Amino acid sequence: MGIILRSQAELEKIHRAGLIVWDVLTALRDMIRPGMTTMDLERFAERRTAEHSARPAFKGYRGYPCVLCTSINQEVIHGIPSATRKLREGDIISLDFGVEAEGYYADAAVTVPVGAIRPELEKLLRVTRESLDHAIEKMRQGNRLSDVSAAVQTWVEQHGFSVVREFVGHAIGTKMHEDLQLPNYGSPGHGPRLLEGLVLAIEPMVNAGRPEVKMLDDKWTAVTADSSYSAHFEHTVAVTANGPRVLTRPREITGPSW
C-alpha cells in the first residue's frame, strides 16, 4: 500500500474529525474529579460523539468494548472504562479517543491530573507533553521519519524517564491505522523523507521508571512492568508546505500541544 499523502481537501476532512476528538477530550479533561468512575467518562464521550453525528473509532476495533481508553497511574494505554473504577485525588488518567467522520479518522490522547498530584507526576506529564511538542516540530518536509522518533526519545531520556517500545504512533486517514509506524525511539536521519500531505498520529507513551510493559488478563490494558506511573499524549498531525499542522485542535490554538 505504501505511504499515502493527503490532499488539502482530505486534510480538512481529517481536521473536521479532529475537532470532534478535541471537543470530547477537552470536555472530559475539564470534568475530571475525584469520585467519578471511568464509565461516567465513557458515557459522556459516547453521548457527545453522537451529538456530533460521528462514529467512535475504537468501539469494536479488534473487539475493543468502549469508545474511550482510560488508563490510570501505572496503566500505560488501552485501559477499559469500568463502573467500579473511581478516580482518586492524586491519580493521573490518560484519555485516548478517536472518531471517524465523513470517512476520515482522527485520534488524540491527553493525560490529566485528578486534583492535586505529586510534583514528580507533574514533571512526568509536562515532559511527555513536551516530547510531543518536539516531535510535532519535526513534522516538516525534508526531515526523515526517525527525526520525529528521536525527538521524543531524546527529550524523555534527558529528563530521566523512559519511552515504551511495544506501542507506536501511526499513519492515519481513511483507516485509523495506516501502513506507516512511528516508534517513539530511534536515532535521527533514517526512514522515509517527510512529504507534504503525510498525516501521522504521534503518541509518546512515557514511563517514570523502566520502559517494559506487561498485559493484564483483560488482554487490553498495558501496565508498566515495574508499576511506575505512565503518561500518554497524542495528536494527529499533518506535514504541510507551511510546516506542521495539528489536526486534532482548532486552528487558532497554537503553542504547546496540550
Smallest separation, CB 30 to ligand MF3 (Å):
21
> How many Å apart are CA 202 and CA 171, to the nearest integer?
9
Would you say 40 or 81 has its CB closer to Co ion? 81
> How many Å apart are CA 72 and CA 91, to the nearest integer?
7
Smallest separation, CB 34 to Co ion (Å):
28
> How many Å apart are CA 126 and CA 131, to the nearest integer?
9
Per partner kind, with CB cut-offs from 5 to 8 A, the member of ligand MF3, Co ion, none near residue 97 is none
* Among the listed residues 147, 131, 106, 98, the one whose alpha carbon sits nearest the alpha carbon of residue 207: 131
Would you say 62 or 242 has its CB closer to ligand MF3? 62
Handedness of CA 123, 137, 172, 106 (dihedral sign): positive
> How many Å apart are CA 40 and CA 86, to the nearest integer?
9
Q: Which residues bind ligand MF3 (CB under 6 A)?
A: 58, 61-62, 64, 69, 78, 96, 98, 107, 109, 170, 201, 203, 234
Smallest separation, CB 198 to ligand MF3 (Å):
16
Would you say 169 or 244 has its CB closer to ligand MF3? 169
Would you say 97 or 161 has its CB closer to Co ion? 97
Q: Does 107 bind Co ion (CB under 5 A)?
A: yes
Per partner kind, with CB cut-offs from 5 to 8 A, the member of ligand MF3, Co ion, none near residue 78 is ligand MF3
Contact, 52 vs 194, CB < 8 A?
A: no
Residue with the CB atom nearest ligand MF3 in the bound state? 64
> How many Å apart are CA 97 and CA 58, to the nearest integer?
7
Smallest separation, CB 68 to ligand MF3 (Å):
9
Helices 38-51, 8-31: inter-axial angle, 10-degree rounding: 140
Per partner kind, with CB cut-offs from 5 to 8 A, the member of Co ion, ligand MF3, none near residue 69 is ligand MF3
**Where does this chain touch Co ion (CB under 5 A) — which range of 83-91, 135-143, 195-203, 223-231?**
195-203
Smallest separation, CB 9 to ligand MF3 (Å):
24
Would you say 35 or 175 has its CB closer to ligand MF3? 175
Among 41, 200, 201, 206, binds Co ion (CB under 5 A): 201
Binding residues for Co ion, rule CB under 5 A, total 3
Which residue type sits at 35?
Answer: G
Phi-psi region of 189 (alpha: psi -120 to 50; beta: other; left: phi over 0): left
> How many Å apart are CA 73 and CA 168, to the nearest integer?
20
* Among the listed residues 7, 15, 17, the one whose alpha carbon sits nearest the alpha carbon of residue 241: 7
> How many Å apart are CA 8 and CA 31, to the nearest integer?
34
**Where does this chain touch Co ion (CB under 5 A) — which range of 24-32, 100-108, 186-194, 218-226?**
100-108
Would you say 40 or 232 has its CB closer to Co ion? 232
* Residues binding Co ion (CB under 5 A): 107, 201, 203
